Structure 1
Amino acid sequence: MYAQATKILKKVLDVDTIYKIGFNWSPMYRRSVGKLIYISKDMYEIKVKIPLNYKNRNYAGTIFGGSLFSATDPIYMIQLIEILGRNYIVWDKDAEIKYKRPARSTAFADFKFSESEIKKIKEEVKINGEFNLIKTLNITNEDSSIVFANLKKTIYIADKTYYAQKKKK
């Protein structure tokens, strides 16, 4: 459903606008309390804000860890789907979050890809048909001086034809 809506909306809106509006209004993402506050035109950078409020405040008065995780969970996969295009299959394969200290204020996460990373992904997929990319980031306060958690994601990327053949086996 979301992929179909995006395809239609791309005819009238930029992809960054579609995702910013789509994520921030999507019921499944809104429950995380996360909000996309910046998306570059090329989708290489996305910034997420996770405010501390009554919806995600835990018993200790800090941001519930599940809120930190769920607000960051889908971002890398969606970025890669848009950056690489529809000739690739992209799936979240593994995720790990390590909490460092309680988030007593708004948290932020900055998801970035570089041109060289995308080039490496394409080269690996061209050679092997598939690739497991490991990305890490810190969930921090606004000026990045306090780290609330470390996120580690493994993202599976495959050539669409290779993936179809692999599924048949």
Structure 2
Amino acid sequence: MGIFKKFSTVNQAAKLKKLLNWYGPYLGAGIKLEYIADDWREVRVAMHMKWYNRNAVGTHFGGSLYAMIDPHYMLMLMKLLGKDYVVWDKAAHIDFIKPGTGTVRATMLITDEQLEEVIEQTSSGHKFLPRFIAEIRDETGELVAKATKTLYVRRRPIHHR
């Protein structure tokens, strides 16, 4: 749980938000975390179009669009499940729907139903590969890209807790 050890006090979400907003790849891509819910169920990010984050045709880099959502589902689920679970990124897929220009935003959510399913599916000690979908939208609300994140989740054996 490396990064979370630094945030073991009240207001963990706000502290992590500040840290990630100074994270080099996010700074370089122009990505900004706008909101992390105190209960770790929602994260909102934005990427503003800048001279330094345009590709050859003047739109957002596809890799930067993916970077907007990359770590968040894993971090959210790690925090929601706690140290009794192993959580890793397993796979990702992104569909580019239309060129992204201007400011683009994404909201990542983990619902009660999704969390309950993860807990239920891992209760026997088996791995579970939940999928989460995040949509990246432009300033008019049009869909720019849709990303699917597959995580690997397993409850730790009792002797490792």
TM over 0.5, shorter chain: yes
Whole-angstrom CA distance in 2 between matches of 1:77 and 1:31? 22
Overall identity of the aligned pairs, in %: 30
Aligned position for 1:7: 5
Match of 1:46 among 33, 43, 46: 43
**Unpaired segments ≥5 residues, structure 1:** 165-169
Given the two structures, how large is their TM-score scaled by the length of structure 1? Answer: 0.87
Deviations 1:104-163 (A, max 9, x none): 21110000011121111001000352100011121102453x11111011111011228x
What CA distance in whole angstroms lies between the structure 1 residues aligned with 2:2 and 2:22? 15
Report deviation, 1:66: 1.1
Normalised by the size of structure 2, how large is the TM-score? 0.91
CA-based RMSD of the aligned residues comes to: 1.8
Instruction: Give the match for residue 154 of structure 1.
Output: 150
Measure, in 1, the Cα distance between the counterparts of 2:81 and 2:24.
26
Matched, 1:107 2:119: no
Q: Which amino acid counterpart does residue 17 of structure 1 have in structure 2?
A: A
Which ranges of 4 or more aligned residues in structure 1 deviate by more than 3 Å? none
Note the alpha carbon deviations across 1:75-128, whole angstroms, 9 max, x for none.
111111111111111110000111111112111000001112111100100035
Tell me by how many angstroms 1:34 deviates. Answer: 1.3
In structure 2, the gaps of 5 or more residues are none
Q: 3-state SS of the aligned residue for 1:129? A: coil
Q: In structure 2, how many angstroms separate the alpha carbons of the residues matched to 1:61 and 1:19? A: 31
Contact 1:10-1:18 at 8 Å conserved across structures: no
How many residues matched?
159
